[in-house]
Amino acid sequence: MEEIDQPPVADAKSNGAGPSGPGKAALDRDFERLYREHLRDVYSYSYYRIGNHHDAEDLTEQTFLQAYRHFERAQRESAGRPLRPWLIRIAHNLAANYHRDKARRPTAALDHVEPVMHPHDTERVVEGRERMRQVMAGLEHLSDDRREALIMRFSLGMSNREIARALGRSDGATKVLIHRSIKQLEEELAAAGAIDE
């Protein structure tokens, strides 16, 4: 993914959306900091949900544009809590829209899509690639909420509380969701012969 030096606020500004008034410069600086801190997380989440580099970049851009439009209010309402779950929730909703729209359009299925990996010739990398392929295949058998919870937990390193906020669930329900997701993924991998029971 190409690193972008500035957050995508130009479009939101030109549309008349976003904050205005004397605190605008400070708000823009705060948003730029939010953008820089969470660009990689939002992109990673988008990529895991979409599975396509270009569409994940588009979804990431849309996430930050939408976040900019509502940033002033989100900052006020967060009462100092981290805004990362809010950003992931925006990406989650946009990814759901993407999949819903995609389901309405017929597309040709791709056979044998492989995860993006760096080319190396070592046996360990080959084994890791195969393991990753098995885990990704196992994730496909999970429900959307279980798959997303595992992506947020293990790919993005989000805490249970952050995941709960992003998914709109209680902390306890999120803990149970992650536990059941791991258990189901282990069962899927065991059934496929990828791990020993």
Query: In this structure, what token pair is assigned to residue 65?
Result: 């544009």
- What average pLDDT score do residues 82-109 get? 83
Query: In this structure, what token pair is assigned to residue 160?
Result: 């249970």
Q: Positive or negative, the Cα torsion across 159, 161, 36, 9?
A: positive
Q: Between 52 and 87, whose confidence is greater? A: 87
For residue 94, pLDDT over 50 is answered with yes
For residues 174 and 154, give the distance between their C-alpha atoms in angstroms, rounded to a whole number: 14
- What pLDDT does 8 receive? 55
pLDDT band at 118 (very low <50, low <70, confident <90, very high): low
- What pLDDT does 74 receive? 92
For 168-196, the pLDDT digits (tens) are 899 999 999 999 999 998 888 888 776 66
One-letter amino acid identity for 158? M
CB of 73 closer than 8 Å to CB of 38: no
Structural domains in the chain, sorted by start: 8-104 (1.10.1740), 122-197 (1.10.10.10)
For 139-172, the pLDDT digits (tens) are 888 888 888 888 888 888 888 998 998 888 999 9
For residues 107 and 35, give the distance between their C-alpha atoms in angstroms, rounded to a whole number: 33
Alpha carbon dihedral 143, 146, 149, 151, in 10-degree steps, equals: -60
For residues 177 and 120, give the distance between their C-alpha atoms in angstroms, rounded to a whole number: 36
